[in-house]
Every structure is written in structure tokens, then in C-alpha cells.
Amino acid sequence: MPLPGPDARDMLSFHTGKDGSVVYELTAAIPTQAQPVMSDAALTFVAELHRRFDATRRSLLAARTIRQDALDAGTLPVFLSETARVRSDTWTVSPPPHDLADRRCEITGPCDRKMMINALNSGARVFMADLEDSMSPTWENVTVAQANLYDAVRRDLELTDHRGKHYTLDETVATLMVRPRGWHLTERHMMVDGAPVSASLFDFGLTFFNNAAHLIETGSGPYFYLPKLESHREARLWNDVFIFAQDELGIAQGTIKATVLIETVLAAFEMDEILYELREHSVGLNAGRWDYIFSAIKKFRNRPDSVFPDRGDIGMTVPFMHAYTELLIATCHRRGAHAMGGMSAFIPSRRDEEINTRAFAKVREDKEREATAGHDGTWVAHPDLVGIATEIFDSVLGSRPNQIDRQRDDVHVTPDDLLNFEVPGGVVTERGVRMNVDVAIRYLASWLTGNGAAAIYNLMEDAATAEISRSQLWQWAKHRATLTDGRTVTRDLVRSLADEELENIRAEVGDDMFASGRFAQAAQLLDTVALAQEFPEFLTLPAYELLDSEYVH
């Protein structure tokens, strides 16, 4: 990596400006591999982003709390009257750049070197490098991820593993998009004016500063996925960040392109408005299905008439999920934007073909439903699924790059449709409670030891599915849901089943792995985020306080 940078292996850093004032402070040493990309110029750019935009970020987070209070008081979300003209006017987003016109299959995953090489070589049209839900945000992970992105952009990404196998990038690779962390998170290892910087601005700022010019020189551009937005005002903040960043680096306005994940219930009521705020920088919306389910449970957690059944019963065809994806497609296509489908998280088994046969059939059914409905592409989590997803979208798209021209004038979704949480045939079972406990403990243990993308029961679990698990446990215990066997879900029952599942994990992995894997601490954390009297907004907030550098990989 030729880019020069400070040697910070053995020191913490106070960086001062010409007037002697502190520009930023690093509270941890920069890992050796990441030093070239953590230059003073790059970090000063991040500090400037933080100073300009963090106050707005914090005010928007405060607005989230106010909206939650209104929901708890019985005020249901509606399409906003003050933005009715945005919804009724005829406008479109800017056209996609050439390397984002065809997105029929996108693969996602963390910025681990090997995973990135395999994803970029997978045959998918786009690789979304994830700095968010599939990354445990240890300081080493977030900084080395930037080094890996730097190398990937310059086609220098390679790896020789412990077996001596060498991995390099193919001649043709997927177009790179990057997902920074959400507005609610901070990066505690970088302080500006005595406060930790926004993790969103940290991830975006370093990625953009280090790579934008080179991406443009090679015919691509700085492309992003934006997670967990809850309103068009939050999209406006991103747009303001983009405008400033492009001006600051002398890059033409509109060069940044971003897809917003519609993965919160409140954002579903403002899809037109979100596209409008980002229209010069927008390349569509994505149906972030797992976080959307979590959001529905979280936002309506205090309403006894909105208790959700087992996670496995909540599929894409239940009323509220069907309504929001239909509205997403219709909205995007009316505005000339991509409507991206959701994630298939299946990981093929190398030993059990029966598991693969059943799973591939479900994947095929899911992707056929998306392509037929009008999505322009879809997500997968494993290279082995790229072929299936691509084949299905090929059969619908043919040689066309997308089906944005397919207007869904038949779609008429109301607020009641978006809030119809009925799940036909859905029930709450002991198996569902145990599965939520088991998956959450296993995922949190993985996250605490530095791995945010955990293969559990042939599914690639990330923070979103763990959020579903713990929010369901909280909701069931609060409202004393009735199991199919007649028992009532209480905190004591959940704790009893959690103790049993924890012992099952100990028996499975052995005492040494149990201790080093932090499973007991994960179970304690689950108790905190799933059974506390007050619901923690995100499990990653208390979990972040438990991350220790000794567990970074």
C-alpha cells in the first residue's frame, strides 16, 4: 500500500491544528495494517464532518425518541401531510452510473480480506462491503476494514491463508458499494471536542477520502448503502454530508451514489420523500427485510394488539411485509430508481445435501417472487447462491439491465396495509423461544469475540436477526404471551430456558471453547437486552461497551 501515513503503533494521538487547538484525539493505537489509511489528512476530514453535522445527527436521534413516545401513546404513523406535494409531483432521481445500471444480484458481507476476495470474484454484479450489521466494531476491525477497502479499490487485495492457499482478485469483479454504520452509533476510539465521533461519519469519511478519486479515475465512483434511516430528514442529513464532502475534495456534485435500506417501519411511510432528499445522489431503495421485522416489533413493542408470533412464521407474504415491498417497488419505479430485493442468508452445507436441496428450493421461490413482483435485483450472503439468483433474474430481465420501466400502477398501499401485523397461522411456541435464545447467545458470543457475521444453523446471522430474537423475547415476556402448550411466557421462563440452552452450548463446544468464546457473557448480555424493564433501542449499544481489544481477530 503506497499511501504514506503516521507510525502510531505505540502511541495514542492528539493531533493539533496550526493554532495549537486539538483537531482530534485517538484513544487507541492504530493497528499496523491500517496505519497507511489512517492518515492525519483523512482523520482531519472525519473530524470536520463530525463538527459540521453531529449536532444535527443528535437532534434527529432525539426526534426518534419523540416519535416512539407518540407511538406508545397510540398515535399511528401516516403518510405526511406536509410532504404531500413531494408524493404527488412528477420528478425522478438521477440516472444510475453505468456500473450500477445492472444490479440483478448483489452479494453482501463484512470487510474480511478473504470474504471480500470471494465476494468480488463471485459473479455478482455488486458487492456491498459491510461496515455495519455483519461487522463487530472492534477498533482493529473498523480500521483494518478501511485498509482492505483501500486495497480492493486498487485491485491489490490478496491473501495467503494458513494452508498456503493464495487468493487474488479476478480480472472482472463486482462493483463495490460500502455500508457505513447507522446514525445511532459512535466510534469511541476517535474523539472530537471531547465527544466520540459519529460512526457513520467515521466510516463514510475514511472510505470517501481515501478512495473516491481513485474510483472515479478507474471509471467507477464512491457508492454507498445507507442503513436504518427512520425519516426523510435523516436522508437529508446524508445528502448534506455528500454535498460537503464532494465540495471539500473537489469532486463533482452527484458523483456519490447511495441506496437507502428501507428497514424501519417509519421509513416505509416516507419512501418518496427519502428518494427526493437524495435525488441527485440516489440509486434506489432496498427492502431490508430482517431489520424491518425487528423495527416492527420494536416500534410497536408496547402495544398488546401487536404481539408477533415465532420468527419462522413471519415470511415475506404476510400482509405488512407484502405491502411494504409492493410499495417500495411502485415508488422506486415511479421515480426512476432501483427497487432492490432482500437478503437470502442461507449458507450451503458441505456435508448435508438434503439441507441444501430444501434450502435452495426456498431460495428459488423467494427470488422468483421478487423478480416477478418487479424488483430489479436481490441480495445473497454466499457465493454459491449467486448463480441461482442471477439465473432467476435473467429469466425476467433478459438482456435488460433492470425493469425500472415496469410501472406498478396496480399498487395502492394504505397506512392500514403497512400496519396490518396479522400473521395467518402464526403462533408462539417453546421451540420459538428456545430458538431465539439459542441463536441470540451464539450470535452475541461471536460478536463479542470480534466476528459480526456468524454462520449458525446454515444461515449467515448478523445483528438484525439477533435483534429480532431478543425483541421477540422482550415483547413476549412483557405481554405474557401464551405458548401453544398453554404456558405463559414470563421473564422467569425465558431465563430458565436460557440456562438450559447455555448448558447445551457448553456440552456441544466443550469447556475450553465455552470460556474463550464468551458464551456466558453473551447470555448475560441477552438478559440485559431481552428482559430489562426498559427496552434498549439497539443491542449493539450495550454490547459495544463489552468489546475488548484482546478478542479482536
- Using CA atoms, how far apart are residues 39 and 8, in angstroms rounded to an integer? 10
488 phi and psi angles, rounded to 5 deg? -100, 135
Pairing of strands 454-456, 459-461: antiparallel
Burial of 165 (C-beta count, 10 Å sphere; 0-12/13-18/19+): exposed
Strands (E), 291-442: 339-344, 377-380
- Using CA atoms, how far apart are residues 68 and 53, in angstroms rounded to an integer? 23
Q: Given the residues 151, 310, 366, 462, select the one marked as catalytic.
A: 462
Q: What value does the CA radius of gyration of the chain take, rounded to a whole number of Å?
A: 23
Tell me, yes or no, if 462 is annotated catalytic: yes
Question: Which residue from 396, 265, 342, 324 is spatially nearest to 106, judged by alpha carbons?
Answer: 342
DSSP assignment of 276-288: HHTTTTEEEEEE-
Burial of 332 (C-beta count, 10 Å sphere; 0-12/13-18/19+): buried
CA 553 → CA 111, 134, 182, 319, 515, distances in Å? 13, 14, 23, 42, 17
- Using CA atoms, how far apart are residues 375 and 339, in angstroms rounded to an integer? 5
| CB atoms inside a 10 Å sphere around CB 74 | 7
What's the number of CA atoms in the CB half-sphere (13 Å) around residue 497?
21
Burial of 510 (C-beta count, 10 Å sphere; 0-12/13-18/19+): exposed
The answer to whether 476 and 435 are in contact (CB under 8 A) is no
117: which 3 cell numbers?
476476495
Q: Given the residues 179, 311, 442, 470, select the one marked as catalytic.
A: 179
Tell me, yes or no, if 313 is annotated catalytic: no
DSSP alpha helix (H) spans, 449-532:
463-478, 491-509, 511-516, 519-531
Strands (E), 124-174: 126-130, 158-160, 166-168
Q: Which residues are catalytic?
A: 179, 462
